[in-house]
Structure 1
């Protein structure tokens, strides 16, 4: 399976200015994602997509391929990942190069255990999946079977059930996306305009260090986790 690895890194971060190239313990943030992806032997090609000259310069200096400059219109706050991926796939399609699938690797989730990307690709390639995402288990107290929605001033179980599951041991496992890996077949993206399709596989990262950096507080947590990782 021919898979395009894509690291999106725009320059317009507001919560943390210049977030993608801000040094985290001496390395630009997106370098952590690059290093994890560089070790993945099952990625057919790896590139960075950015509109920002400074980010592009930093990427090229560390050996990360930047084959195009993303249009500024595709680097706004409301630009979807779908648009960014389609732009990259179209760039290569115009050159006669096509990919069976793509792997979106967001720099804001910098910590990926060694071999995780290849593990995900192996599971994705061997299964009947439209997509595969990395996930973490939801703690019992936030399990959707124990979550309520307000309906006309009353609380209803979010899953629609009439009776609540009373014992934690009976709760089915629930997961949330952690943002580290999105693998999707190209045809699913182009034909269904979706990152997911109908058959979604997953790889569990619950036991791994995790942060999804959006705020200064998240950045502080990333520094704390990285210091802990380096001490191990």
Structure 2
């Protein structure tokens, strides 16, 4: 089985400038994703998909490959992760005559990704014959009790009013994607053009093991969580 790790790292970032290579506890944040992929020993190819020469240079220094730069079409604000991955797979096939059985899309701003977690997800995908596997976590509060708030009147209503009188212990657990990585069988990705398929599984993480990073507050919280885990 041939496996490729694809780390998307676009140059443009509006909310946090240079987000993908910003210093995170002493290292460019992309360093952690690259080193986790290399350290897992699972990949024939660890590559970074970027449109930015500085990101490409740092990625190569850490040990990743950047065999080609991302196109303008997959570098704008409207390109999806699926668009980026398809371009990578197509370029490997047309330019380098290389094809892969499995891919792992690892996000550049996911410093909590570890070689062990990549292995656990990969083993689960093979054991259960899933098309894809990714980390997810339980919501800390039942989402069936979610509220709508009218922006003009500030009045509140239930999103799911049928759960108004249901005891919290009787409400089923709900999960959310942790935004770290996705293992996907290439034929499954080609079939569904997505990382989440009708035959996907998860490895469960607790709230200290991940952090979505979109704001300065998120960044600080991620550093605190990372130090806590160490």
| TM-score bracket for this pair, using the shorter chain length | 0.7 to 0.9
Say which is worse superposed, 170-179 or 207-216, in terms of deviation.
Answer: 207-216
Quote how far apart the aligned CAs of 1:189 are. Answer: 2.0
CA distance in 2, matches of 1:195, 1:165: 36
5+ unaligned residues in a row in structure 2: which ranges?
Answer: 150-154
Quote how far apart the aligned CAs of 1:88 are. Answer: 0.8
Tell whether 2:47 aligns with 1:47.
yes
Quote how far apart the aligned CAs of 1:168 are. Answer: 2.6
Contact 2:102 2:185 survives alignment (8 Å): yes
- The aligned counterpart of 1:112 is 113
Pairing 1:59-208 to 2, within 5 Å after superposition: 59-94=59-94, 95-140=96-141, 143-148=142-147, 155=157, 157-158=159-160, 162-164=162-164, 166-206=166-206, 208=208
CA distance in 2, matches of 1:59, 1:51: 12
CA distance in 2, matches of 1:82, 1:37: 20
Pairing 1:212-231 to 2, within 5 Å after superposition: 212-230=212-230
Any runs of at least 4 consecutive aligned residues in structure 1 with deviations exceeding 6 A, and if so which? Answer: none
CA distance in 2, matches of 1:137, 1:189: 25
Quote how far apart the aligned CAs of 1:113 are. Answer: 4.2
CA distance in 2, matches of 1:74, 1:207: 32
5+ unaligned residues in a row in structure 1: which ranges?
Answer: none
CA, structure 1 residues 149+184, in 2 after alignment: closer, same or farther (shift >3 Å)?
A: farther
1:123-159 CA-partner distances (Å, limit 9, x unpaired)? 011213121121011112xx23323568xx994553x
Tell whether 2:34 aligns with 1:38.
no
- The aligned counterpart of 2:152 is none
1:1-55 CA-partner distances (Å, limit 9, x unpaired)? 3221111111101111111111112100100111111111223321111110011
Quote how far apart the aligned CAs of 1:165 are. Answer: 6.2
CA distance in 2, matches of 1:155, 1:130: 38
CA, structure 1 residues 62+165, in 2 after alignment: closer, same or farther (shift >3 Å)?
A: same
* Residue-pair matches, total: 225
Q: Secondary structure at the match of 2:219?
A: helix
1:140-184 CA-partner distances (Å, limit 9, x unpaired)? 2xx23323568xx994553xx845463332222211001112122
Q: Secondary structure at the match of 2:135?
A: strand
Contact 1:113 1:208 survives alignment (8 Å): no
CA distance in 2, matches of 1:149, 1:199: 31
- The aligned counterpart of 2:28 is 28
Task: Tell me the TM-score normalized by structure 1.
Answer: 0.87
- The aligned counterpart of 1:12 is 12
